[in-house]
Structure 1
Amino acid sequence: MNQNRTGATPPDLRLTHCFIAVDDHDKALAFYHDVLGLEVRNDVKFEGMRWVTVGPATQPEVNIVLEPPGADPNASPGDRQALTELLAKGQLRGVNFLTDDCDATFEHISASGAEALQEPVDQPYGVRDCAFRDPAGNLIRFTQPLSRKR
């Protein structure tokens, strides 16, 4: 096991949830489920909110929560407005996915009409990657290690 700087062994941690701001759950589901093929794990409405999670079938422990900007109940109205404006500008970060074939992934997603930001390109840091915007404007990248390049 690895030890941290204090010499102690850190706890065994695993990612369970990450969050992506969306302005329309139905459009987001059309992209993340219908185009990317992620499983819909939860789609629950509660007290005027909607809790939607998706994730790769091969990673049942990883959930991507699709939530409106400023969903935090402690966010001020000003913060909610600022987050909504940043989302509209495409300034909020999305996620990176690993793929075995970046070029085929690019072609598949392009065929859906999604906004392509970068065609597949070999990067000097050892991956081939491409990028799209999801329907809310979030940056979504797809990377393939060059060691797996076909």
Structure 2
Amino acid sequence: MASTNLKVRSGNRTVVSFDGNDIGLVQNVRTNDEYGHEPASGIGDARAVEYVPGMARHSISVSKMVLLKELVRAAGVTAENSADVLKGRVFDIVQYGVDENDILRKYTGCTFVSGDTEVVAHRIVTSNAQFMALDVSGVGM
């Protein structure tokens, strides 16, 4: 009897999306969701009775990201300098399963925080970037 084994996810892809259009592909991504839990206690009691969430922080670290230059420029997403950064343009980073309709995680309202590029003789240009997102959805990971 044949059965389907779905214990491991493979064939996933992560894309950069602006206004619903894919403008890039990410090869390596690390995401972190932190909810800033703070202890809550009563007056005169030093023990925490609960940890309540505070400020949510969603960060995405990317290496080996390829952006389609023509689409990025047309969308006006890239920032040339600090004046461009102040315009506040945001985009989404979406992690798909094998099926394009299978959204595993979607980071919305992403902002470029920092990045570096290394050019080494006889090697591929390697870029790393960090982003912050306003929100996240999807529980498929």
Greater RCO, 1 or 2 (C-alpha within 8 Å, sep 6+) = 2
Instruction: Give the structure with the higher percent strand.
Output: 2
Q: TM-score, normalised by structure 1?
A: 0.24
CA radius of gyration, larger in: 2
Instruction: Give the structure with the higher percent helix.
Output: 1
